[in-house]
A and B are shown apart, each in its own frame.
Chain A
Amino acid sequence: MSEVTQPTNQTVRTWRRPPQIKDPRLRWALYIGSVAYLCLALASVEIDVARLVEGTVRAKSLFAGVLSPDFVTRWTDIRAGFAESLTMTVVSTVLGVLLSIPIGLGAARNLAWRPVYLVCRSILAVSRAFHELIVAVLFVAMFGFGPFAGLMTLVVSTVGFLGKLLAEEVESIEWNAVEAVTSTGASWLQRVVYAVVPQVLPRYLGLTLYRLDINFRDSAVIGLVGAGGIGATLNTAFDRYEFDAVAAILLMIIGIVLCAEYAASAIRKRVL
Chain B
Amino acid sequence: MPIIEKDGEKIWRRRDPKTALIHWLTTLGIALVVVYCARQISAQTTWDFVWTSGLQAQDLANRMMPPKFSYASELWTPLIDTIHIATLGTLLGIMIAAPLAFLTARNTTPSRLFVRPIALFLLVTSRSVNSIIWALLLVVILGPGMLSGILAIALRSVGFVGKLLYESIEEIDTRTVEAITATGATGPQILTYGVIPQIAPTFTGISIYRWDINIREATVLGLVGAGGIGMELQASIDTLAWSQVSILFLLILSTVVLSEWVSARARSAVT
Q: Does B113 contact A (CB under 8 A)?
A: no
Q: Is there contact, CB below 8 Å, between A143 and B50?
A: yes
- Chain A nearest CB: distance from B159 CB in Å? 10
The interface size bin for chain B is 35 or more
Judge whether B45 and A129 touch: CB under 8 Å.
no
Cβ-based interface call for A258 (8 A): yes
Given A37, A46, A146, A246, which contacts B44 in the complex, CB threshold below 8 Å? A146
- Give chain B nearest CB distance to A75 CB in angstroms: 19
With contact pairs A62-B137, A90-B33, A257-B127 given, residues A133 and B220 touching in the complex (Cβ less than 8 Å): yes
With most chain B CB atoms within 10 A of its CB, the pick from A38, A133, A138, A234 is: A133
Check A264 for interface membership: any CB of B closer than 8 A.
no
B202-258 at interface with A (beta carbon < 8 Å): 216-217, 219-220, 223-224, 233, 237, 249, 252-253, 256-257
Counting chain A residues whose Cβ lies within 8 A of the other chain, the interface size class is 35 or more
Please give the distance in Å from B240's CB to the nearest CB on chain A. Answer: 10
- Judged by a CB distance under 8 angstroms, whether B72 is at the interface is no
Total number of residue pairs linking A and B with CB closer than 8 Å: 138
Q: Is B46 an interface residue (CB 8 A)?
A: yes
Within 206-241 of A, Cβ neighbours of B (below 8 Å) are at 217-218, 220-221, 224-225, 228, 234, 238
B95 within 8 A of A: no
Most chain B beta carbons < 10 A, residue from A58, A88, A254: A254
Chain B residues whose CB sits within 8 angstroms of the CB of A23 once the complex forms: none
Residue of B nearest to A249 (CB): B133
B233: nearest chain-A partner, CB-CB? A134
Of the candidate stretches A49-57, A107-115, A116-124, the one touching chain B is: A49-57
Determine how close the nearest CB of chain B comes to the CB of A195; give it in whole angstroms: 13
Task: Determine if A172 is an interface residue (Cβ-Cβ < 8 Å).
Answer: no
A234–B141 CB distance below 8 A: no
Contacting pair B141 A58 (CB below 8 A):
yes
CB pair A224 B45 closer than 8 Å = no
On chain B, the residues within 8 Å of A125 by CB distance are 257
Given contacts A62-B140, A133-B132, 4 further A-B contacts (CB under 8 A): A45-B84, A51-B142, A133-B223, A258-B124
B residues at A contact (CB < 8 Å): 30, 33-34, 37-38, 40-41, 44-46, 49-50, 53, 56-57, 60, 80-81, 84, 87-88, 91, 124-125, 127-130, 132-133, 136-137, 140-143, 145-147, 150, 200, 216-217, 219-220, 223-224, 233, 237, 249, 252-253, 256-257
A-B complex: 8 closest residue pairs judged by Cβ atoms: A144-B49, A87-B37, A51-B143, A257-B128, A148-B45, A41-B84, A254-B128, A133-B220
A interface with B by C-beta (< 8 Å): 20, 37-38, 41-42, 44-48, 51-52, 54-56, 58-59, 62, 83-84, 86-88, 90-91, 94, 125, 129-131, 133-134, 137-138, 141-144, 146-148, 151, 217-218, 220-221, 224-225, 228, 234, 238, 246, 250, 253-254, 257-258, 261
